Amino acid sequence: MEKALDQVGVELTNELVVEVIRRLRFEEKIAFRFFTWAGHRENYAHESRAYNDMIDILSNTKYKVKQFRIVCDLLDYMKRRDKNTVPVEVLLKILRDYTEKHLTYLHKFAKKKRIRVKTQPEINAFNLLLDALCKCSLVEDAEAMFKKVKNKVKPDANTYNILFFGWCRVRNPTRGMRVLEEMIELGHTPDNFTYNTAIDSFCKAGMVTEAAELFDFMRTKGSTLSSPTAKTYAIMIVALVQNDRMEECFKLLGHMINSGCLPDVTTYKEVIEGMCLAGKIEEAYKFLEEMGNKGYPPDIVTYNCFLKVLCDNKKSDEALRLYGRMLDMDCVPSVQTYNMLISMFFEMADTDGAFETWHEMDKRGCPQDMDTYSLMIDGLFRCNKVEDACSLLEDVVNKGMKLPYRMFDSFLMQLSVIGDLRAIHRLSEHMRKFYNSAMGRRIALNQKRKSMSLRGK
């Protein structure tokens, strides 16, 4: 095609190129080849109309996902050639045309269902574009675009939130605060999610004092929408603990309890985990005591959150101390409590500790569940306690318990390694009750072959 066009020798004008492109609007590949060929001709340069039509064709094809990169390259080429090639007004026209074609369907649906939509499609599309740039960490580009068009497209609270979150994403809370100040000056009220993001960004950037000042502003001068939540308190408490500002931390805890803003399971976990990871185990216990003294004694869920942090960090002495404290406080341990302890002991290759925990469950009248059996059998196999593992597997079969498929497959592999064909068939026959029988037979045969080959070696 390009060779034939070279031989025609027609003098190109922008009007001619636009007309050809429009005739080829349903053949986007040929249209783009023609557009590219024309762009390389001497004494001719594409004007904004040609670019706009080409972008419009590529954006509206059914292959638009595949053409997205071409559109981006095209815009990048325009920018490199001449930044003034496409004025802001033209970009806004493209944006407006796009929203009229696509986003207005949302508004038609809203009108049909009698849902009130306050924002116009144009600002929705602009916010979507800003959000995409910010999520790619191109916040400076997003803010530059925002400054160019904010006098023509009226920004809403979501626009400022997107830019604010963008600056927080790239760990530049100072620039983010400027956006927040402008947002407040224009009468938009940030909610507590926005403030939480700001405080979290300040803390991660090491600006704990600035975070504390913003938190104090929320608590004393903020609106009802922006009052601190349990999440806000948790972020600040953990930051103060990590910076060894314990006096301020417990002062804040007092404010938290007195204001009736009690931590939920998530925030309990965050506070305790933050204290433990900072090596402040005693302070974590003190936190539990403070809650108990105020009439909010920790329950099993709270203790399990604390125990999980200790078990994940293999602090066995502290974990057992916490377990003893639970018993002293008449808090009945759950099966999850024992499962965490068993898992920790096997991670530390302490099979005696795992067995003691198993027997403790019998002593306390806490029946083992399928997770308990899975943890024990898997741990015993890994610690080469094959006889004990096989004994527990026999219990699983006798009790008619359903193993998770992943564990079933893993145990068959372990039995194949030791060449216990009887146990393989017995376990496979048992699991056929719960899983596809053909699949069970196929797995059993595969395990048998592997077992024979291993023994042959």
Tens digits of residue pLDDT in 401-429: 888 877 887 888 888 888 888 888 888 88
In a domain, 10, yes or no: no
Mean pLDDT of the 225-234 span: 77
- Locate 376 and state its tokens: 């024990």
Cβ-contact 22, 34 below 8 angstroms: no
Q: What angle do CA 254, 257, 259 make, to 5 degrees?
A: 105
Q: What is the pLDDT of residue 441?
A: 57
Question: Tens digits of per-residue pLDDT, 143-185?
Answer: 888 888 777 778 888 888 888 888 887 878 788 888 888 888 8
In a domain, 451, yes or no: yes
**Cα–Cα distance list, 290 to 84, 121, 297, 428 (Å):** 64, 51, 9, 53
In a domain, 441, yes or no: yes
In whole angstroms, what is the distance from residue 139 CA to residue 142 CA?
5
* Res. 115 pLDDT band, cuts 50 70 90: very low
* Res. 343 pLDDT band, cuts 50 70 90: very high
- Locate 425 and state its tokens: 């068939």
In a domain, 52, yes or no: no
Listed as own residue / partner, the contacts of 35-44 with beta carbons closer than 8 Å and 24 or more positions apart are 37/1, 37/2, 37/5, 38/12, 41/12, 43/11, 43/12, 44/12, 44/13, 44/17
In a domain, 408, yes or no: yes
- Locate 213 and state its tokens: 């000042």
CB atoms within 10 A of CB 351: 18
Mean pLDDT of the 261-283 span: 74
Check pLDDT > 80 for residue 139. yes
CA distance between the termini of the chain: 66
Q: Provide the domain limits for residue 406.
A: 393-457
In a domain, 119, yes or no: no
In a domain, 413, yes or no: yes
Q: Smallest Cα–Cα separation from 149: which of 176, 175, 127?
A: 127
Q: What is the pLDDT of residue 436?
A: 61
Residue that is written with structure tokens 């916040």 in the block: 139
Q: What is the mean pLDDT of the chain?
A: 77
Three-state helix/strand/coil letters over the chain = CHHHHHHHCCCCCHHHHHHHHHHCCCCHHHHHHHHHHHHCCCCCCCCHHHHHHHHHHHHHCCCHHHHHHHHHHHHHHHHHHCCCCCCHHHHHHHHHHHHHHCCHHHHHHHHHCCCCCCCCHHHHHHHHHHHHHHHCCCHHHHHHHHHHHCCCCCCCHHHHHHHHHHHHHCCCHHHHHHHHHHHHHCCCCCCHHHHHHHHHHHHHCCCHHHHHHHHHHHHHHCCCCCCCCHHHHHHHHHHHHHCCCHHHHHHHHHHHHHCCCCCCHHHHHHHHHHHHHCCCHHHHHHHHHHHHHCCCCCCHHHHHHHHHHHHHCCCHHHHHHHHHHHHHCCCCCCHHHHHHHHHHHHHCCCHHHHHHHHHHHHHHCCCCCHHHHHHHHHHHHHCCCHHHHHHHHHHHHHCCCCCCHHHHHHHHHHHHHHCCHHHHHHHHHHHCCCCCHHHHHHHHHHHHHHHHHHHHC
**More confident call, 376 vs 411:** 376
Cβ-contact 340, 372 below 8 angstroms: no
Cβ-contact 37, 4 below 8 angstroms: no
Check pLDDT > 90 for residue 339. yes
Q: What is the pLDDT of residue 278?
A: 75
In a domain, 437, yes or no: yes
Q: Smallest Cα–Cα separation from 134: which of 123, 150, 148, 145?
A: 145
Domain count, the chain: 1
